[in-house]
Every structure is written in structure tokens, then in C-alpha cells.
Amino acid sequence: FFGVFDGHGGKRCADFSARNLPKLVSHNIDKTPRSLFQNAFEKLDDQFLSIARSKSWNDGSTAVAALLRDCTLTVANAGDSKAVLSSKGQAVVMSRAHTPGHEEGKHRIEKKGGKVDFRRTWGVEATRAVSRAIGNRSLKAFVTSEPDVTTKPLQKGDDFLVLGTDGLWDHVKPQ
């Protein structure tokens, strides 16, 4: 299990996610990869939001995680972090960035009554530049924690995986 967590509005959610997502994944390891990660991200979000409500925290975190099991790679992502597999020297993007500017995120947010606008970058309610993340108590009506999940059987020539935040992918192309 590997994961990268990029906090916004503070580091509490990222630290909480880094400590707790591996435990939640291991508790459900017998489930299918998709339901394992969907379940783990939902529980992680619920647990953090419970603490955040009691302490009036509004921070959140993106999360990109990878699980290697039985020569199969599963990647789960919520936010603008990304996973890229090097396969025979070619970049294989294993996840997509969830930003409010993408049609899927924008449509979902606006359908729930939220506002997506552009001020140097796309944002939800003029604050967050992600449409999926853990936490974000004040924007939870619009920002979901549901991850995209991708599974790939590994084969000869699959050399390494890079998990990185938007800080990397804003400056480095996957290849």
C-alpha cells in the first residue's frame, strides 16, 4: 500500500488520512478493489468530518493511493493528485485529476446548488480547486470523497509507479 495526501487549508486532514487510510484498507482487504477503496475513502471522510465538526476545522486533503496485491495494481484517487505507471518506458496515467473545471465535477457541483467559477483557476464556491477530496467540512455538500478506482494486472515491463500531487503534475508531464 502506498499513498500521497495533499492537504489544503491545513495539514490535519492529510496527516489523519495518511495514518488512517492504510488501516481502513487493511480492514476490508477481502473485498473487491473497487468496493474496498470506495468503502475506505467514505469511512475516512466520515471519521475526519466527525472530528472537524467538533473542532470547527475546514481543511481537507486530496488522496491518491495504490495497492499492489497478487500482481494486480489498484489505484484510487480523490482530488488533483495523480498516479502514473511506467510500462515499457511509456507513461500510463492511472488516475485523473478531479477539478471543478472538468465537466463531470462542474455538473455535479452545480446540480447540488454549488457555484463553480474561474479566478486564476477553477474553484468551488470561490475557494477550493478540487471537486473531490477528504474533509472540507464547509464544502462537503459539493465536494465528494468518492474515488475513481482503476485496476491493472501488472506485466513484464511495468517498471515503477509515481504518485504525486498537483505540485508535481503542474510542472512535469507524465512521460
Among 75-79, 116-120, 122-126, which is the least confidently predicted range?
122-126
3-state helix, strand, coil in the chain (%, to 5): 30, 35, 35
Tens of pLDDT, residue by residue over 53-73, are: 999 998 999 999 999 999 999
If you average pLDDT over residues 18-38, what whole number do you get? Answer: 94
Residues in contact with 149: Cβ distance below 8 Å, sequence separation at least 6, in sequence order: 33, 34, 37, 38, 74, 75, 76
Residue with cell 474561474: 118
Distance CA 84, CA 97 (A): 12
- The grid coordinates listed for 167 are 505540485
The pLDDT of residue 126 is above 50: no
Percent of the chain clearing pLDDT 90 (strictly above): 66
The pLDDT of residue 11 is above 90: yes
